[in-house]
Chain A
């Protein structure tokens, strides 16, 4: 269509056969299938470039077969995606200031990945990733006492979650899949720990140690780190906002090397006025510090809005390894957030 310079679509399919054996008696064979797909539109206008990707931030990536590709409904959403990219070229610039925001579920998913998932990898906490992926502010002395978020924030690493992209029967140390609470009622209560880190820190195993392939050392990777759904519909999330911004699908993500100071940008936004979505906005960004941001979460979408959003390309380690993770999430509302940074904010 006019204005769209580049249209892309892709399908990823991985079938992984793994055989694990250890001198402790484990002999495990797994046959895993994961799929994902997405399409994108790049619109180029006079002095501006805008892009839209569907579905979500990186596509719909889950554990399972071709039904996952079908569920993405790419053809049904292709035209709308292109139209949105073109419309963004002439949309108003998203404002700067402090206001309430409602984030789409896939954007909450990436927020979880960067500010909870990575912060709670225990090898990072212990300093094993210090020179590259970094450390963590969530040090061991904070366990069971630190307020990570508001009381409605409950996060668990659940390696048994159906369809979630990181679900396996066993991790690459032979630990059976399980669910471990990370944040309960807003309090830090757990970490993603492997056999060596768990014994060093005296915490429970999480069963999420993985190697990208045979030629890499297994290491803790974000598993299925899911934010428990709340009780609000999307309309109810918006209804509680007098003036704010609804932001959808990530475009840029940056966080410091202890997982505190972050700035994220989204593909598009809509002004919220008196509980209703209004004009289209381009280049929306928001920023904050991790614990204060999650403490500002005062409503989470209900189970009907919850999706096991997969991240197909998380990088960590030296030599670098790519892993696939999941952060299940619903849309959520956050109060009094700094917005528009990078565009005069």
Chain B
């Protein structure tokens, strides 16, 4: 009978043991990632794609002196394991020496399991449950003379790591998401939900939210480009902040000098009301308690009350910069350095409705699209609004607007922002809505 590395924990442990035993390198790391992921996609109110994938991968990092090689395979039989170990070792022999490499981590300090990270009902969610969710969404759309496009997804992941220095970890987690774009003749609206437990998501409530935006945004009007007060709902705010994770909050850009944080620890970089952390224990996150080298992961305060505090590290940069390893390594080979994966922006005191009520003339933004970096050091990004842009006048949402392009500095914007009181999970961020004054829209489009 074929081995199922998604459900058979003992089989995963055997693979780790076999990989380490097969290696003749000075040091060896074996990482197994197995998952069962399912996604039901729909458009025009019918399911047009439906897939389930079960897959597993063994990645081996072989170290010979200061030379490193990495190879991966999804053939986890004895021959497959032997082959991938041999390939990793051959690559190590051919690689140039990295004098800064400190060796594989050896910290086997126990990490606390968070039971709520894995919900078995979500991990084993079937296609009927996803289809039922789509049915609830499309019923809302039909009542509103709209059609919906989006997806319902669920997954279960197992991550197991072992190295020749005695590190040994295993994690099992579940996750689910609902994504809805409600589309009318002249407008669209968006809603999303993410949860470790599928039962915590309400397809109907999310659909009502998306539909309301599409209905209220019908016949959108043009807004002149310029600087406006904007309220970014959590999905838009997450997309706005997202670039900071790879270009600023990791030790690699920090050390290279390309991060806005470089040389500025202890300095004021944002508004005093802004605190940004990476915290896998945050209730809405419940993420991986160790990194992809098996090092324990620690919460890190990146910006505290507007002051640059720290960045995240892996074992390589911790040794190079004489800093504690915060446990933020990504899977090898990794050219981009350590990165935060569980960003939290601490909340403010006003509800989003109170924030809207406080805007004399401004814009409510649901979501953004195609954000790209224009200037790394100044953290200037450009992007489009999408699926729900509204004019606010005298404290009330008035009507829909045609989508607009913005050019804005992330860090500068966070120096003139207010944050809402409710935290929401949006992909890898937990954050509130945000009000930003003087937000720069540079052009518009036709819809």
Contact residues of A between 219 and 260, Cβ < 8 Å to B: 251-258, 260
Asked if A25 CB lies within 8 Å of chain B CBs, one says: no
Across the interface, B183 reaches (CB within 8 A) one of A130, A255, A289, namely A130
B376 at the interface (CB under 8 A from A): yes
| B149 interface hit (Cβ, 8 Å) | yes
Chain A residues near B335 (CB-CB < 8 A): 8
Q: Which of B39, B179, B374, B446 has the most CB of A within 10 A?
A: B374
Interchain CB contact under 8 A, B372 and A130: no
The contact string, 1 if C-beta is below 8 Å from chain A, for chain B 202-245, is 00000000000000000000000000000000000000000000
Contact of B407 among A8, A49, A341 (CB under 8 A): A341
Among the stretches A14-22, A40-48, A70-78, A299-307, the one at the interface with B is: A40-48
A5 at the binding interface (Cβ < 8 Å): yes
The distance in angstroms between the C-alpha atoms of A277 and B322, with both chains bound, is 48
Find residues 376-432 in chain B having any chain A CB closer than 8 Å to their own CB. Answer: 376-377, 380, 382-384, 386, 403, 405, 407
Q: Is A169 interfacial (CB-CB < 8 Å)? A: no
The chain A residue sitting closest to B49, CB to CB, is: A217
**Beyond the given A261-B384, A285-B374, could you list 15 further A-B residue pairs with CB under 8 A, ordered by the A residue number?**
A5-B256, A49-B257, A127-B43, A137-B446, A252-B373, A254-B382, A256-B445, A258-B446, A260-B445, A261-B403, A261-B405, A263-B382, A265-B372, A318-B151, A343-B375
Chain A contacts to B: CB under 8 angstroms:
5-6, 8, 42, 44, 47-49, 127-128, 130-131, 134, 137, 215-217, 251-258, 260-261, 263, 265, 283, 285, 287, 289, 318-319, 341-343, 345
C-alpha spacing A128/B48, complex, angstroms: 8
Q: Can you show 23 pairs from A to B with CB atoms below 8 A apart?
A: A5-B258, A42-B256, A47-B377, A49-B257, A49-B258, A49-B377, A127-B183, A130-B183, A215-B51, A217-B51, A252-B372, A254-B383, A256-B369, A256-B445, A257-B386, A261-B405, A263-B405, A263-B442, A263-B443, A289-B445, A318-B151, A319-B51, A342-B407
Give bound CA distance, A251 to B381, whole Å: 12
B interface majority secondary structure: strand
Q: Which residue of A lies closest to B403 (CB)?
A: A256
Closest CB-CB distance, A327 to chain B, in whole Å?
18
Cα distance, A253 to B377, chains bound together (Å) = 18
Contacts of A5 in B (CB 8 A): 256-258
Contacts of B377 on A, CB cut-off 8 Å? 47-49
**Smallest Cβ distance from B356 to chain A, in angstroms?**
25
**Given A131-B43, A341-B442, also A215-B55 (CB < 8 A):** yes
- Kindly state whether residue B53 has any CB partner on chain A within 8 Å: yes
Q: A42-B256, A128-B48, A217-B49 are in contact. Are A260 and B446 (CB under 8 A)?
A: yes
Assess whether A134 is in contact with B369, with CB atoms less than 8 Å apart: yes
Which B residues are CB-close (under 8 A) to A128? 43, 48
Give Cα A130–Cα B55 distance, bound, in whole angstroms.
Answer: 28
CA distance A49 to B378 in the complex (A): 9
Shortest Cβ distance from residue B425 to the other chain A in the assembled complex, whole angstroms: 19
CB <8 Å contact, B149 and A130? yes
Instruction: Write out the residue numbers on chain B whose beta carbons fall within 8 Å of the beta carbon of A343.
Output: 374-375
- Give chain B residues whose Cβ lies under 8 Å from the Cβ of A251: 373
Q: Is the CB of B384 within 8 A of A257?
A: yes
Within 8 Å by CB of B370, from A217, A257, A287, A289, lies: A257
Q: B384 near A342 (CB under 8 angstroms)?
A: no
Whether B246 is near chain A, meaning CB under 8 Å from some CB there, is no
Chain B residues positioned under 8 Å from A49 (CB to CB): 257-258, 376-377
Known: A49-B376, A265-B374, A318-B41. A131 touches B150 (CB 8 A): yes
Closest to B335 in A: A8
B44 located at the interface, meaning its Cβ lies under 8 Å from any Cβ of chain A in the complex: yes
In the assembled complex, the CB of B249 is this many whole angstroms from the nearest CB of chain A, namely 16
B181 within 8 A of A: yes
Is B127 an interface residue when CB atoms closer than 8 A count as contact?
A: no
- With both beta carbons as reference points, the residue of chain A lying nearest to B38 in the complex is identified as A319
